[in-house]
Chain A
Amino acid sequence: EPEVTQTPSHQVTQMGQEVILRCVPISNHLYFYWYRQILGQKVEFLVSFYNNEISEKSEIFDDQFSVERPDGSNFTLKIRSTKLEDSAMYFCASKEGIAGTDTQYFGPGTRLTVL
C-alpha cells in the first residue's frame, strides 16, 4: 500500500539554525499538508499546498516557515531560524483530491528538537 514518507525521523538543531523537513507524498496525490504536534498537545494545522502554491495557512505559519515542492516527488517544510518553541513532531499529509471526503494520509513524522 502506498504511504507518505518523511525524512529524517529525528532532527536536532541549534536555535537560530535553518532546518528542512522532507516529505514524499503518495504519488497520485495533489494536496499536501504540514501539521505539527508539540509534545503532549494536539495536532495543529500549519499549511496546505496545491498546484505549487499555498492554499491555506494557520497563524502559526509565519514568515519563518516556507514550503516547497522542488521536484515531482518531494514536499519540504523549511524553518528559516529555529526557535526553542519550534520543537515538535512535524507531520506531512497528502490527499488525492479536493473533496473533504478524501482521506488525508499522514507520514510517520519528523521529531524536531531545537536546543
Chain B
Amino acid sequence: AQSVTQLDSQVPVFEEAPVELRCNYSSSVSVYLFWYVQYPNQGLQLLLKYLSGSTLVKGINGFEAEFNKSQTSFHLRKPSVHISDTAEYFCAVTKINNDMRFGAGTRLTVKP
C-alpha cells in the first residue's frame, strides 16, 4: 500500500523567506501526488497535484512542487512566503480507484 512521510512537523520561517516542505512517498505502483492546505478551522484546499508529464507542478498562491521519482519525493516550495501562508500543509498520495493517504502534516508558521 502507498504511504506518505512528511519529514518536518513544524517549519517556522520569516516573511518573504523561501520555504520548502518535504514529502516522501512509498508505493509499489505509479501514484498521483497532491498537496493540500488547511487554514485554521477550515477544510482541506487543493494547492497542486502531480498526475503525469512535467515534474515541476505549479499551484495556487505561488506554490510549486517537484516530483522526483528516483528519490520518491514531492517537495513543496515557495520562493517568498507571506503571513497569510501560515497553515497546515498535507501531502497526499493516491492510486487509480483508491482512497487518498495523507502525511502527518507540516505546520508552516510565517513570522513577521
Contacts and interface: CB of A to CB of B under 8 A. Distances in A.
Contacts of B17: none
Interface in A35-54: 35, 41-45, 48
A42 B105 contact: yes
B43 A91 contact: yes
Interface string B71-94: 000000000000000000010101
A88 B104 CA distance: 15
A36 to B, nearest CB: 11
Given A42-B105, A100-B31, A108-B43, A33 B94 contact: no
Given A108-B42, A109-B43, A42 B49 contact: no
B98 A100 contact: yes
B51 A101 contact: yes
Interface in B31-54: 31-32, 34, 36, 42-46, 49, 51-52
Interface string A95-115: 000111101111111000000
Interface residues of A, number: 24
A56 B98 contact: yes
A96 to B, nearest CB: 13
Interface of B: 31-32, 34, 36, 42-46, 49, 51-52, 90, 92, 94-105
Given A43-B44, A100-B95, A106-B44, 9 more contacts: A33-B99, A41-B104, A42-B104, A45-B101, A56-B98, A100-B94, A106-B43, A108-B42, A109-B43
Interface of A: 33, 35, 41-45, 48, 55-56, 58, 91, 93, 98-101, 103-109
Q: What are the 9 closest A-B residue pairs judged by CB atoms, nearest first?
A: A100-B96, A108-B43, A106-B44, A43-B102, A42-B104, A45-B99, A101-B51, A100-B32, A106-B43
